[in-house]
Structure 1
């Protein structure tokens, strides 16, 4: 495996998530900006990469010619056409990583030359602030060295977990879409405090910090959320009364249904 200082990383597609992943890779300090290439049809998104000190182009083939590790970060409906364009330039040295929702490893491998080392990742929006959650799955020709390299590169983007490809749809329902569930809950928390007299700006800030602190306690203590929740509930106290109201509204069942609905739709997209 190449030394990371010499590794050349490419992005075909330069949208928000591609920029977030590139920023995380650069902040890890092992890949040089001059060794990151990005392609897109216009300069609208490429300007962000230029601000990082990366090289940019309007030609997708330039990325393949200059890079070993290539992220496919176009919109899903565009990706098959992009793959038809770049497939002749893909060689055994390339590692191809798709970030496109709904495009399976089987489809990627069918559209690329036989034996291509292909992986899929599904990042979520907080990768923009290096606090993301990423699921990684390997294709049939990608081994431990390729997965280890990718995990190392993505380490500064947030949590990166590996699993079978079937987990990617569940990850979409849990974490990709789950960011929106958290925003909705944070909004509701803040509005409850506003209802009780707290200024909105202060309530929003405290609600966000509350969610951040709760998440860090789960990750850093390793405790099950139910254990931590029980620790907050003193007998006859305020929290148990509040939780009773949430249970009346079937909060847990509703959230589980939301994850199921998003996962099911992600699976449906993969069949199209």
Structure 2
């Protein structure tokens, strides 16, 4: 059983713990307020810096567009490309710089493989090939064709066509045989008269036709009226139909 002194001792301990916890809670709450204040200040500073950067980027972009428009309108294309080719980024100074014409880059770039190239090439070769092809497509005058090389650094052999020697000879006729061969050819090429053959049955012939016009080259015998009357007076022949004989067990 708990006594009065034990209950008082227990209550004093609980009160002491409550005081300690309340002090810790107040301390954490003050720290939370400080953190919230710091975050508000950081957000405000960030927003102000962002606005300043946006205004600066807008002004720089506007100035850049103006300069590019001036370059495009008043600077030739070749000079523009030449200036762009001289630009390089300086890592030590952390800025872009323009290299002079006398400077020569001693370090060669490593050869790289490209899909549209036959062999690994350097960036300089790639740039020059693109530049030459672009110039050739844009300006196709005779002077430009002579100064540009579309097939630069390509393994191309220029070979001349060599004609083959003749392996046949002209046919020559012997003088002794010329006359005999010419006579044989004349007889072989001589045009002969046409032969007309009438293979029809005499009873179906019609002799009432008129003789057709004959060409001048060929002659055809003409039938007179007396011959036609003689042919008509000939007795007509009667033909009896001939049937095949029956064979086998066919009754007569």
Tell me which protein shows more strand as a share of its residues. 1
Higher Cα radius of gyration? 2
Q: Which has the higher contact order (CA 8 A, sep 6+)?
A: 1
Tell me which protein shows more helix as a share of its residues. 1
Interval containing the TM-score (normalised by the shorter chain): under 0.3
TM-score normalised by the chain length of structure 1: 0.16
TM-score normalised by the chain length of structure 2: 0.17
